Structure 1
């Protein structure tokens, strides 16, 4: 269905306009002559609403009428208080819900692709993906990522579903790669602590060495006891002599000096013997310590070796477990990589079915032949916008393009020829040096 006749009366900057439309309709003229008003009138009728500001200043009522090539008539009447639409079907009957009937005929983006051109990248991608006539096979997606399971929006466009699954698995693989590196680093660190394979323990057992230590301590204790007992005996004998002499001193004052000399002699003799006994006792302790030291050191070595062997066995078990975990992680990594490869291939397969040559969606951006949309030239952007509008076009395949004057003459001609080859009807404004004029082709 196409617009065959257009009538606009007292709307925006247009007092009265009637036009027999073709496939490609050019609205040309200088700025301020009403070119955009024509497009806005068409869009206002197609988009619905009750915008009283569409009424031409000073007018009591305005009207927009689109007569289709099958006789269907869409009309919108505008007053200072608001506006309303009516639809007369091709058979002459009035549509009971004109707003719903008009909405069934059109898509807002298909009416104004310039909105697509000016949209932010995310909105632009959403419009594109919603427009693409491609669907993803849930069973095939599940098979690609098996045995993994990933939740994704089932009602989303195919490429969005694939990108969602891809990102989840990619993030999981990143975590798997990190875990593998950490496992390898830990295994290498643990392996470095293992004793060399040719390491041997000192000869002899701890029990034998401890017996020798006990024997040495027994000899030491016996000798120290003997010295102490002999010294005690000497002390008692000396004390007896001292007591005897002290008694004589009490009875024989005249012999005090002589007895004192004897007492001092006895004390000196005991002190000399005591000193020799201390030297002998220390020698016994030193001998014991010297004999104990190598035995204690050997026991310490044996115990350390036994502990090292136990730790090595435990480390070996830990390394074995970690290697098994690392092997599992490598299997997960292989599954994740295989799934990513399949998803990418599936995406490329679906992209090959796109009706727009070279168009793809990557990382939330629309690309054409690998070039980001915003970096394409104006002609390419408009072509893509028109093609997307064509995909979204409903029964009324009308496209309104404002600002096409950004294209030079050659590019405008190419754009017009391509549009005429399509099954769409275009209304295009273009700034020129001449007066307001409308022309139709096709």
Structure 2
């Protein structure tokens, strides 16, 4: 699509100007109106201007009219006393959303392509990558990575998006670093725990091991040993006990003898002094033998009962007398060992849980590595099918290369060629280039720039400051 008619009236410093679709160079001194022509065309296409006054001084209305060879007609009339007029038609029909329509037929660099050379490499790279045509959407990202990767500017071109995804400052890389660090820390904890757990530790066995049975057996043996000790003591002390019982009996008999002898003597004395009571006393004396016999019988019975009771107790423990006492040392050591093994159970389970967590972390890390590698390999796959509008363009690690070189390594001539290639990104769009201030370029570069535009079949309007008083139009 090319411009076939340009008409400017009362815009900026221009009173009236008309041109067809030929490529021209506008020359003259500063203030001659060279840049006003380019600014008017920019205004027609963008409805924007950096100038404070658009309508020519002294006028109330200006106009810029542009017609193309495919039926597009752009007519803008800025006004100072009423609302601006604008009309964008295609084949005689008004276009809906005219500003959006116009944005689709040109790129901003067409209006000032040399600006590309003054940009930093990051801006240049972003513009070049934006030129690569590849149909993708957020659903494409989901299919590639299983999710919409966070912290990514999806307004960028797909190659820059992939570069940001695989970047060392990207979400996946940083997350993988955190996961690997966490895995290393957990491994350190595992090693620390393992140092305190016996080799070949069987957690399930020691969880099921019963200390109650061991301690019950220890208590049974301890009580049996006490019983054996008591039986031996009872047997050994029996004779002593019996002798004690005999001594108690003899003492009681001796006491009884003394008691009754004393009484008999007293009676004799009483008989001698109390003859009147002789009969009663003699009767009492005659009965003393029977009373003594009865009490003696009680003493004998008490003795017999005490011996019998003690013999019964001895008999109860008799079965333990020949028994050998058992040692609880082995069981105590076993109980201590089981207790020690059980003390490791919680740490063992903690270690196992940490190991499982490490496995999960490593699997997640491996998945992130896979995604990072995919983001690194996808550009190559994309470039195999994508439409690449610049000859010799490749991409490595997210950086566009022209014939194997980054833009910053290109010569000035190569950069000029690239300027034009970058500016004309829409093959079906408006094929015109506006170049303001070509006097800043060397004669050789300026000539190469014009030849590049001609070789691509582009219309171009260039301005060059000279010492000429009047505006001169040079057809190229």
TM-score range, shorter chain: 0.5 to 0.7
TM-score (norm 2): 0.57
* Maintained 8 Å contact 2:28/2:34: yes
Distance of 1:48 and 1:139 partners within structure 2: 35
Matched, 1:440 2:475: yes
Report the 3-state secondary structure (helix = DSSP H, G, I; strand = E; otherwise coil) of the residue aligned with 2:446.
helix
Larger radius of gyration: 2
Q: Which residue number corresponds to residue 355 of structure 1?
A: 389
Q: Which residue number corresponds to residue 46 of structure 1?
A: 45
Distance of 1:68 and 1:194 partners within structure 2: 86
Aligned residues: 351
Matched, 1:185 2:188: yes
Report the 3-state secondary structure (helix = DSSP H, G, I; strand = E; otherwise coil) of the residue aligned with 1:391.
coil
Q: 1:306/1:414 Cα in 2 relative to 1: closer, same or farther (>3 Å)?
A: farther
Q: 1:124/1:195 Cα in 2 relative to 1: closer, same or farther (>3 Å)?
A: same
Report the 3-state secondary structure (helix = DSSP H, G, I; strand = E; otherwise coil) of the residue aligned with 1:28.
strand
Q: Aligned ranges for residues 16-165 of structure 1 at < 5 Å?
A: 16-23=16-23, 25-48=24-47, 53-69=53-69, 73-81=73-81, 83-86=84-87, 93=92, 95=94, 99=98, 103=102, 106-107=105-106, 109-113=108-112, 131-136=131-136, 144-145=144-145, 148-150=146-148, 157-159=157-159, 162-163=162-163
Q: 1:318/1:61 Cα in 2 relative to 1: closer, same or farther (>3 Å)?
A: closer
Distance of 2:408 and 2:144 partners within structure 1: 33
Q: Name stretches of at least 5 consecutive residues in structure 1 with no aligned partner.
A: 199-204, 223-294
| Structure 1 residue 15: Cα displacement | 2.8
| Structure 1 residue 317: Cα displacement | 3.8
* Maintained 8 Å contact 1:39/1:427: yes
* Maintained 8 Å contact 1:28/1:432: yes
Report the 3-state secondary structure (helix = DSSP H, G, I; strand = E; otherwise coil) of the residue aligned with 1:54.
coil
* Maintained 8 Å contact 1:61/1:80: yes
What is the aligned-residue RMSD (CA, Å)?
A: 4.7
Q: Which residue number corresponds to residue 391 of structure 1?
A: 425
Q: Which residue number corresponds to residue 371 of structure 2?
A: 339
Q: Which residue number corresponds to residue 292 of structure 1?
A: none
| Structure 1 residue 112: Cα displacement | 2.3
Q: Name stretches of at least 5 consecutive residues in structure 2 with no aligned partner.
A: 202-213, 234-326
Q: Which residue number corresponds to residue 241 of structure 1?
A: none
Q: 1:394/1:58 Cα in 2 relative to 1: closer, same or farther (>3 Å)?
A: farther
Report the 3-state secondary structure (helix = DSSP H, G, I; strand = E; otherwise coil) of the residue aligned with 2:84.
strand
Report the 3-state secondary structure (helix = DSSP H, G, I; strand = E; otherwise coil) of the residue aligned with 2:135.
coil
* Maintained 8 Å contact 1:401/1:428: yes
| Structure 1 residue 397: Cα displacement | 2.5
Matched, 1:9 2:3: no
Q: 1:102/1:118 Cα in 2 relative to 1: closer, same or farther (>3 Å)?
A: farther
Distance of 1:340 and 1:313 partners within structure 2: 40
| Structure 1 residue 74: Cα displacement | 3.5
Q: 1:186/1:433 Cα in 2 relative to 1: closer, same or farther (>3 Å)?
A: farther
Q: 1:72/1:309 Cα in 2 relative to 1: closer, same or farther (>3 Å)?
A: closer
Distance of 2:128 and 2:424 partners within structure 1: 11
Aligned mate of 2:354, from 322, 333, 339: 322
Report the 3-state secondary structure (helix = DSSP H, G, I; strand = E; otherwise coil) of the residue aligned with 2:434.
strand
| Structure 1 residue 177: Cα displacement | 1.6
Distance of 2:363 and 2:78 partners within structure 1: 69
Q: 1:11/1:333 Cα in 2 relative to 1: closer, same or farther (>3 Å)?
A: same
* Maintained 8 Å contact 1:43/1:111: no
TM-score (norm 1): 0.61
Q: 1:314/1:118 Cα in 2 relative to 1: closer, same or farther (>3 Å)?
A: same
| Structure 1 residue 56: Cα displacement | 1.6
Q: Aligned ranges for residues 165-176 of structure 1 at < 5 Å?
A: 166=166, 167-176=170-179
Q: Which residue number corresponds to residue 418 of structure 1?
A: 452
